[in-house]
A and B are shown apart, each in its own frame.
Chain A
């Protein structure tokens, strides 16, 4: 574990630089692109003079770099700006509530992807050469190839209109942990409404994890230390769990990061089709409405989340694989 702390410190020191770059690029794209929140809000009655006056009041007529400077200054003072779409609410009020909803669905979906994908992959590897190997994986490959735009309506038809098992969509939080602050007091994972979005988000991802697990398990099964373990007379279960699984799962840790991005992508469609007030829909709508500060805040929070997730994954690596050391001199 030597060298880990300086490594983490180095990575953390880079984080503000990355965030600054992300913020500048995002700011530039949305400000320099066509349209602005004032003209969107105006709709069918548009009076250029009124628009100019309101732009002036909101400081949107200042030079781009000056606006960016003001934005940075405000952020450093803890002010994430104001929403044009919801003029009476603060930006954190708007985004954290929605992020919490998406996060709950995302976490459960991630758990399902790995919870189902890993056992399927190991099973397929162990059954290599039999019909069970291709069969188990291809069931999930089938789900991977169906777009959410199809799975959701099919689920609605089956679970809602035919079987009456589930409500059509929306979001509810039957568990209210009053001692936690808003919005994280509201726990929705025990409500039936989470079933469809989780299925829609997780089913396409299972095959990928299963195939990766199968491949890495197969390569590990051929390693000499596995043969040694078996030769020592260890029980098959111990061999699989201690020697095979641990080494086979290492590459999967990297996939978690990538899966997060995929979940965010899928969230837009799922949240739209199922009427879930989450971050995917908010992102889509905010871009359409040019809700500058909300777009900025979401981008920054997500960028921070990715940076932190990557650092955490790197740290976790060192625990799973003792061969990995983060030292200054060694490349990689």
Chain B
């Protein structure tokens, strides 16, 4: 559900490099200071009258959310706020484990299909202080599935629940698989014993909202939503700022930082950070060199962390010439990703060898797809049914971009295909909306794109992108053996056996190369020394409650 370019607007900058749309860089362009080590004095006067960290406010850059409605939120930026404001049955902790949120405990029936949740009996909605009950959860999930809500994500996250698809399609007035046993017991029945179902419930679509508030104020309830999360919404000024206030009654422990201010205005984030107007800032490729330079004071405040995301080169396996696996392998072996990462991406992103990124359960450090080998690449191309570079039809690579210049990494790949394979590849840039639409129609031969994990389970990448009947299978890849493995993994109850199935499927996919994995995502930020425990989790989780400010 994550809109990749959206994500680049915030502090999540890593994938931006891969898309290389130069136009976006100006959003994060700071001025290049001389970096002469001059300490930057606190300048209270310039920083908007008093919103310095001294009064216990954490000031971070943020993107303008599409919506704060949990039922509708489908992008990373909206989710950043929604997970702080609202809560569900379960949540993800800082070590990426699925843990109880409003549900204190749960049991899963022996056949793996019925989940019985026992809710805490002391969780109240913000502002109204009304007790959250099982009935609220039933209402909230049915509201998300209601066709009138028009949630784009409801089917992906709630579709496994018995009866949810019927309601989404307007064939039922309720989700038959959600049963209120008593005030604090909720029973959810799913269609098949899917171990990843619980992880899906950590996504906003399944979060609880206050029926009383929504029904009494359907248009404006999001101005001060009654959530249950660690923070309450104090103010949202469109395009300017979002102000969160700590929920002192938060059931998993009240947050230490009392106020968090997200500055949505964009502009020169790093300059604002240097001028003490922000406590955290993302570092773009324009600034990475000086931020990493040990002589620059910023280098002491620089941190980077892996993200659960990956960028890749995709082939349409139904379209010539990439309907031949040898051609795909040859194209993969002709590009030197290590060199591109080092020279053009300033080592901001690690080269990817697997489909499942590091940190994901099931990640296999030994997985290998086609790696740089120009000699063998030429040989494979000659062995293909096209017989060599001369027999290929015209090849075009498509990427998201403004059209002025291609991403430097794409240009490098094109040069490498020309040098190592003797193939002239044309480049086509299209902007985001068109790109996704045409990708779905299977119009591109070859493209670069990315994937950001929504929940920490291999199903969220392998099954969704490579199962032959999946709607998101945009490489049109189809392999009966892989399909069988993925189907088996869906309902395999033994964790180790399940991961082994995914790894097996992953290696087959890598060998057949519908994808050439390019780079894993990585976050690069600077954090002021007085901000402690500012986590850089690899995916969107409620993280603000861990932060403390030192005076």
Contact = CB atoms under 8 A, between A and B. Distances in A.
Interface residues of A, number: 59
Given A169-B267, A272-B27, A47 B156 contact: yes
Contact of A41 (B4, B29, B74): B74
A274 B33 contact: no
Contacts of B340: none
A171 interface: yes
A94 B238 CA distance: 8
A201 to B, nearest CB: 15
A145 to B, nearest CB: 20
Instruction: Using C-beta atoms within 8 Å of the partner chain, give the interface range for chain B.
Output: 35 or more
A159 to B, nearest CB: 9
Nearest to A172: B48
A93 B1 CA distance: 27
Contacts of B33: 157, 161
Interface string A5-46: 000000000000000000000000000001110111111111
Given A41-B66, A169-B272, A35 B46 contact: no
A279 to B, nearest CB: 10
Given A44-B4, A167-B46, A277 B155 contact: no
B275 A170 contact: no
A289 B271 CA distance: 28
Interface stretch (A83-91, A106-114, A229-237): A83-91
B271 A161 contact: yes
Nearest to B47: A167
Contacts of A277: 237-240, 264-265
Given A54-B150, A58-B150, A282-B239, A45 B266 contact: no
Contacts of A93: 238
A298 interface: no
Interface stretch (B103-111, B181-189, B432-440): B432-440
Contacts of A54: 150, 152
A324 interface: no
A53 interface: yes
A118 interface: no
Given A273-B29, A277-B238, A156 B432 contact: no
A43 B1 contact: yes
B306 interface: no
A66 interface: no
A46 B472 contact: yes
Contact of A86 (B46, B66, B430): B66
Nearest to A160: B275
Contacts of A43: 1-4, 6, 74-75, 436
Interface string A252-292: 00000000000000000100111111000110000011100
Contacts of A171: 240, 265
Interface in B51-78: 66-69, 72, 74-75
Contacts of B2: 43-44
Interface string A138-161: 000000000001000110110011
A166 interface: yes
Contacts of B239: 98, 277, 281-282
Given A87-B67, A160-B46, A168-B275, A36 B433 contact: yes
A274 B452 CA distance: 29
Given A41-B74, A42-B152, A275-B263, A156 B31 contact: yes
8 contacts: A43-B4, A45-B74, A86-B238, A157-B33, A161-B275, A168-B277, A169-B268, A275-B265
Interface of A: 34-36, 38-51, 53-54, 57-58, 85-89, 93-94, 97-98, 149, 153-154, 156-157, 160-161, 164-172, 192, 269, 272-277, 281-282, 288-290
10 closest A-B pairs by CB:
A275-B267, A35-B433, A275-B265, A277-B239, A153-B31, A169-B267, A43-B3, A168-B272, A34-B434, A157-B31
